[in-house]
Amino acid sequence: MADTFVVIGGDAAGMSAASKAKREDPDLDVIVFEKGEWVSYGACGMPYYVKGDIDELEDLVAITPDEFREERDIDLRTHSEVVNIDREARTVTVENEEGTYEQKYDDLLVATGARAIRPPIDGMDLDGVFTFHSMDSARAVRDAVAGVADDEREGYGSEVGEYLDGEKPESVAIVGGGYIGLEMAEAFDARGLDVSVFEMLPHVLAPFGESIAEEVEDHLREQGVSLHLDTMVERIAGEGGEDGEDGRVAAIETGDERHPVDSVLVATGVAPNAELAVEAGIETGETGAIATDELGRTSAEEVFAAGDCAEAHNVVTDAPDYVPLALTANRAGRAIGSTVAGDPTEVGGIVGTAVVKVFDLEVARTGVIDSDEAQQAGFDPVSQVITAGSRAHYYPGGTPITIEMVADRETGRLLGAAMVGEEGVAKRIDTIATALHAEMTVEEVQNLDLAYAPPFSPVWDPVLTAAKVLSGKLE
């Protein structure tokens, strides 16, 4: 009898693992349980669907459920939620529309993803208040800003509340100045809404560092986005009821100030869906995500975890980290699929590389930039900020790129970098990420043989210039 590999969760990590395991061992029974209807979709594209750059939500789907079933011979069961893991019996309990049943497994992957954080703010359940993480929420938000009437909207799933009865909003408040919040600011602006961003920290994009954040903030203001920094949202007020706690959203309240608004997007981050694993006695790490080893194994025998519910190993800090991004999930899932099929494969480390488009800017980061974080990891950080042109000074069309680069004073080891500019940033950050994986010093980065041609770079690429100036600071 063939072994059975059960996967809980049908997005990046889960379907990558299922596909790789079945491809490597065609005799393996691979069963995937997904509580919703969507599988293998590009969540990172959802802001551009709301903006209108992507016409149909289905365009974000890489491989359809039928293709997994018919072409890859994977037993994919949608609308099927795993509600319990029995480690001793090696079974999972599944609920679907027809009832409850148990499924045995030999190997199990927990790939339950993450969920949008719902902060403890009064008014979260008002009409016109949204979170943004699932495909259903993307459709709900796009329909809301487009003024789609109630009787024309499709079902959105239980996590999406009521919206605006077909009345198109004129303004939106975004609570949270992270990746999603700023991507959605651009999307809402393109839809003709007045956009305000409320961020409790002193700057947007806090993990990118102050120098980079300030340039992003200036650009947001130039685009007409109203910024409320270092500002705590205390309440989302409605227009109904004596206390304004019913009906449709009417305002954001921050201390003594009231900001009228007719829709709200709460984008305060995500939390790992680790509860199912915890209930089964599987250990989580300090981040709150499921703890895993180099093969993606958890503390429970024959149980793996990957994707946005699991920790990863940070190459720079040499410690567990939680960075819920797409490549991390896909790569870990693929590795676990190989391991389950008989070829033990490490899931690989991360350096926290990320890039975000904010209107006309490319903004990127990788490694450790924050000095406190670097010190906690045992480093003595030294940083340098430089600005250089994206092209040769005489070639038309070039724009400035600002880079903050950080290194360890004692060893000269490169620790991280962040950068912002209108062109060339999104790929330059990959050079830094590669150097971090190789544990290079800034002097070694300075001596890299990078490509040069006037339309693409000065002779001294901005990355090389940043490394050269920082190296001199360490001497």
Q: What is the DSSP string of 55-117?
A: S-GGGGBSS-HHHHHHHS--EEEES-EEEEEETTTTEEEEEETTEEEEEE-SEEEE---EEE-
C-alpha 117/C-alpha 351 separation (Å) is 24
**Active site residues per annotation:** 44
The radius of gyration computed from the CA coordinates of the chain, to the nearest angstrom, equals: 24
**Alpha carbon distance 190, 89 (integer Å):** 53
User: CA dist 321 to 129, 206, 253, 309, 386, Å?
Assistant: 31, 17, 34, 12, 29
Q: Are 155 and 311 in contact (CB under 8 A)?
A: no
Give the separation between CA 379 and CA 373, rounded to whole angstroms: 9
Q: What is the pLDDT of residue 77?
A: 98
Level-2 CATH architecture, domain 360-474: 3-Layer(bba) Sandwich (3.50)
| pTM score, whole prediction | 0.93
Q: Smallest Cα–Cα separation from 220: which of 115, 88, 80, 363?
A: 363
pLDDT digits (tens, 9 = 90+) for 244-275: 556 889 999 998 899 999 999 999 999 999 99
Q: What percent of the chain has pLDDT over 70?
A: 94
Phi, psi (rounded to 5 degrees) for 194: -75, 125
Residue spans of the chain under pLDDT 70: 1-2, 149-166, 240-246
The CATH superfamily of 4-37+62-114+270-340 is: FAD/NAD(P)-binding domain (3.50.50.60)
- Which residue's entry shows tokens 């210039």? 465
Task: Give alpha helix (H) positions in 226-283.
Answer: 275-279
- pLDDT at position 297 is 98
**Residues 392-403 pLDDT 10s:** 999 999 999 999
CATH 3.50.50.60 describes domain 129-266:
yes
**pLDDT at residue number 1:** 47
> Looking at residue 54, what DSSP letter applies?
S
Q: Which residue ranges make up each domain of the chain?
A: 4-37+62-114+270-340, 129-266, 360-474
Phi, psi for 446 (deg, rounded to 5): -55, -30
Do domains 4-37+62-114+270-340 and 129-266 share one topology? The answer is: yes
